Structures are given as structure tokens and as C-alpha cells.
């Protein structure tokens, strides 16, 4: 029987014991790590469950002061809520953080984030009050001035917005385009001004500055196409292709079109004339060479040259980066459903 047992002094026995100990330690270490990881996930789940529904102000205050998250972590959480569109939660977090003693050193920054969130959420009055409070104690804060300018613009208080430009000018900011933009907005949306006088003043501003063509000619082509054609700079016509494309045939000045290769290409593609045989613009070239009865047209998208965000509609101030007059046209070939419907009606008759 002794032959079936390994002598405890045998080196092989020691090696077996060593590997057995390593196995036992590895086994318990693995399962202990699994247990600890599962316990950590449970703690995280319990913590995140508190944010599945919006807590009351008292609950939120208690959570912040309990110290489960650091001051910086709460700011990151509020920023995440803002990016996801949960502005109410972000506003509650910023409001409660302002009450903490630790927030005194960063009070201006937190107030700025609060005012910015109010602005994004559409609470313009509250946003205005927050930025005014910041500027009361820190008047040389250009970021707050810029957002206050936007708030007044969205509230259509253009006189107050123009007043905000004065301290920005003193801080060395270039306010020329902002000034022209606000003056044009104020002029175009003034309810008590005669339309003829409005057109005269708009043209006068354009002659003086030669900027914001899209804003100017969008208005002029809508209310007085002959006046718009009279003052149109043909070199800048490509930037207004979408506005010119939408004109009815009766509003097109064919004498002026004859002076511009681009306009001839545009309106040949539109079907108003037949003078162009092709175009360097791919979409126009395709339409020119398609059969006349082809159900195709052109649509436009608008790329902000500053932040590169694409919009399906035209804009004068980018709603993403808030820069003025940065819209760049992007052409798209589309199916013309109106032509499809009209042809279907003709064939039915």
C-alpha cells in the first residue's frame, strides 16, 4: 500500500503542493474580484437610480452635500444633462452648487453655465438676469456680454442689444458686423415704419457696408424684385442661388441675366431660358442636360463655414456657434414631386 503514496519528502510532492496552493489562491482571488466588481456595479446602479426621475430640490441639495460626487463631477454631470437636452436637471444642479461654500471661488463660472443653460432652454428672462448679475460684479466678462447680446436679440430688444456692443467695443472686440446685423434686424422687424421708407433705408445700409447680402436681398426679392435686381452685385449671385432659384418667372430680369454666365446657367437649369449648354456646378450641369420633362429639381442645404454644422434651412446667425453671415450653399439633386403630380394629372385627363 505504501507504494501508492508519494513520500512527503519527494520533490515531486512539494511541486504538487505548490501548484495546489497557487490554484487555491487564484481561484479565491478570481471569485473575490468577481464579487467586488458585482458589488461596485450594484452601488453604481443604486446611485444612478436616484437620477432616473428628477429629484426634488431638497433631495438634490442633500445628494450634492452628501459628497457622493465631487464638485467637479457634479459640473460634468450637469454638462451631460445639458448636452442631452435635460436642461431642468442641469439648472437644478447649477442652482444648488451656487449655495455651497466650496463654490464661492467658482461662482462666476457656475453662474455663467447657469445663464447659458437658461438660454438654451428658452428661459430668456432668467438668462438675462443671470448675465446681468455676472456683469454687475465682473463687468469685463466678454463671454457674458456676448450671451446677453444674444438674449436681447432673441427677445427682439434690439436697442438694448446695441447698448451691449458698447462695452464689447471698449474691450477691443470687432463689432462692425454685429452692429449692421442688429440695425438691419431692427429695421426689418419694426412694425411702425412705412414699407417704402424701409426699403430705402435697407438699400442705404447695404450701399454703405456691402455686407449681409443674403439678409438684404432675401427681403428685397420678397417685397420688390425690380429694386433687388437693380442693386444686385452679379459677382455675389452664386451666394444667393437659393433665393434666385425660388423666383417666379415674372420676377426675373432677363436683361440682367444676360450679363452673368452663372445666372444663365441657373435659369437654364430652372427652365426659364435655354442659353447655357452646361455648368461647372455639377447639379446645374445635370439639370441642363436632362430632358425638359425630367422630374428633377435642386434643393439646398446650408453649411456654417465657421463650425461646419449643416442646416436644412437658411440662416443669418448660426444657431450653433452664433456667428453671423456664415451660411454656405450646398446643392442637392432632388425629385420634383410637383412635376410628377402635374404630369400624372395631364395623363389622367
49-68, pLDDT tens digit by residue? Answer: 555 555 565 666 666 666 66
pLDDT of residue 217: 96
Q: Are residues 64 and 154 in the same domain?
A: yes
Q: Is 305 in a helix, a strand, or coil?
A: coil
Asked if residue 255 has pLDDT above 80, the reply is yes
152 within domain boundaries: yes
* Cα atoms in the 13 Å half-sphere on the side-chain side of 78: 25
Last residue of a domain, one of 114, 139, 171: 171
For range 80-90, the mean pLDDT: 88
According to the model, what pLDDT value does residue 281 have?
92
Q: Is 67 left (phi over 0), alpha (psi -120 to 50) or beta?
A: left
Band of the pLDDT at 269, cuts 50, 70, 90? very high
Q: Residue 331 pairs with which residues in a beta bridge?
A: 300
**Do 156 and 86 fall into the same domain?**
yes
Q: Is the pLDDT of residue 278 over 60?
A: yes
What is the average pLDDT score of the chain? 85
Tell me whether residue 98 is in a domain. yes
Complete DSSP assignment for 192-260: TS-HHHHHHHHHHHHHHH---HHHHHHHHHHH-HHHHHHH--GGGGGGGHHHHHT--GGG--HHHHTT-
Same domain, yes or no: 116 and 34: no
% of the chain residues with pLDDT over 90 = 57
Residues 18 and 60 in one domain: no
68 & 111 share domain: yes
What confidence category does residue 74 fall into, taking pLDDT thresholds of 50, 70 and 90? confident
Q: Is the pTM of this model over 0.85?
A: no
Domain extent, residue 103, equals 55-171
The total domain count for the chain is: 2
Q: Does residue 241 surpass a pLDDT of 60?
A: yes
Q: What is the pLDDT of residue 59?
A: 64
Q: Say which residues have a Cβ less than 8 Å from residue 136's Cβ, sequence separation at least 6.
A: none
102, HSE (Cβ side, Cα atoms, 13 Å): 11
Among 171, 204, 223, residue at a domain's last position: 171
**Considering 156, 171, 186, which residue would you say is the last residue of a domain?**
171
Asked if the model's pLDDT at residue 47 lies above 80, the reply is no
What are 214-227's pLDDT values in tens digits?
A: 999 999 999 999 99
- Tell whether 166 and 62 lie within a shared domain: yes
**CATH code at position 74:** 1.25.40.10
Confidence of residue 348 (pLDDT cuts 50, 70, 90): very low
Q: 101 and 60: one domain? A: yes
144-158 pLDDT, tens digit per residue, is: 999 999 999 999 999
H helices of the chain, where?
11-48, 57-66, 71-83, 87-97, 107-121, 124-137, 142-154, 158-170, 176-188, 195-209, 213-223, 225-231, 241-245, 254-257, 261-270, 282-289, 337-348
pLDDT for 276 beyond 60: yes
- Same domain, yes or no, for 77 and 139? yes
pLDDT per position as a tens digit, 7-31: 556 667 677 777 778 877 887 787 7
| CA nearest neighbour of 267 among 288, 292, 239, 237 | 288
User: Is residue 139 over pLDDT 60?
Assistant: yes
Whether residue 11 lies inside any domain: the answer is yes
Amino acid at each position: 500500500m505504501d507504494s501508492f503514496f508519494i513520500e512527503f519528502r519527494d520533490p515531486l510532492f512539494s511541486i504538487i503542493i505548490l501548484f495546489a496552493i497557487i490554484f487555491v489562491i487564484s481561484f479565491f482571488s478570481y471569485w473575490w474580484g468577481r464579487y467586488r466588481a458585482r458589488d461596485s456595479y450594484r452601488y453604481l446602479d443604486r446611485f444612478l437610480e436616484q437620477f432616473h426621475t428628477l429629484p426634488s430640490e431638497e433631495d438634490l441639495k442633500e445628494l450634492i452635500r452628501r459628497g457622493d460626487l465631487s464638485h467637479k463631477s457634479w459640473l460634468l454631470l450637469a454638462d451631460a444633462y445639458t448636452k442631452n437636452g435635460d436642461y431642468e436637471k442641469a439648472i437644478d444642479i447649477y442652482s444648488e452648487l451656487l449655495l455651497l461654500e466650496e463654490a464661492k471661488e467658482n461662482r462666476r463660472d457656475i453662474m455663467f453655465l447657469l445663464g447659458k443653460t437658461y438660454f438654451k432652454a428658452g428661459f430668456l428672462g432668467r438668462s438675462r438676469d443671470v448675465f446681468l448679475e455676472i456683469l454687475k460684479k465682473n463687468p469685463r466678462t466678454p463671454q457674458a456680454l456676448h450671451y446677453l447680446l444674444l438674449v436681447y436679440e432673441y427677445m427682439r430688444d434690439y436697442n438694448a442689444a446695441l447698448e451691449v456692443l458698447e462695452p464689447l467695443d471698449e474691450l477691443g472686440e470687432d463689432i462692425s458686423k454685429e452692429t449692421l446685423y442688429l440695425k438691419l434686424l431692427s429695421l426689418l422687424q419694426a412694425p411702425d415704419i412705412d414699407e417704402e421708407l424701409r426699403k430705402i433705408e435697407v438699400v442705404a445700409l447695404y450701399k454703405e457696408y456691402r455686407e449681409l447680402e443674403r439678409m438684404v436681398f432675401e427681403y428685397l426679392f420678397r417685397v420688390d424684385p425690380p429694386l433687388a435686381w437693380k442693386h444686385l452685385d452679379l459677382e455675389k449671385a452664386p451666394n444667393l442661388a437659393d433665393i434666385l432659384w425660388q423666383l417666379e418667372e415674372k420676377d426675373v430680369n432677363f436683361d440682367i441675366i444676360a450679363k452673368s454666365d452663372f445666372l444663365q446657367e441657373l435659369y437654364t437649369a430652372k427652365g426659364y431660358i435655354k442659353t447655357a449648354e452646361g455648368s461647372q456646378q455639377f447639379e446645374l450641369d445635370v439639370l441642363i442636360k436632362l430632358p425638359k420633362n425630367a422630374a428633377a429639381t435642386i434643393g439646398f442645404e446650408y453649411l456654417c463655414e465657421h463650425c461646419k454644422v449643416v442646416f436644412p434651412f437658411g440662416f443669418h446667425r448660426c444657431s450653433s456657434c452664433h456667428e453671423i453671415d456664415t451660411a454656405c450653399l450646398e446643392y442637392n439633386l432632388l425629385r420634383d414631386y410637383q412635376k410628377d403630380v402635374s404630369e400624372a394629372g395631364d395623363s389622367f385627363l
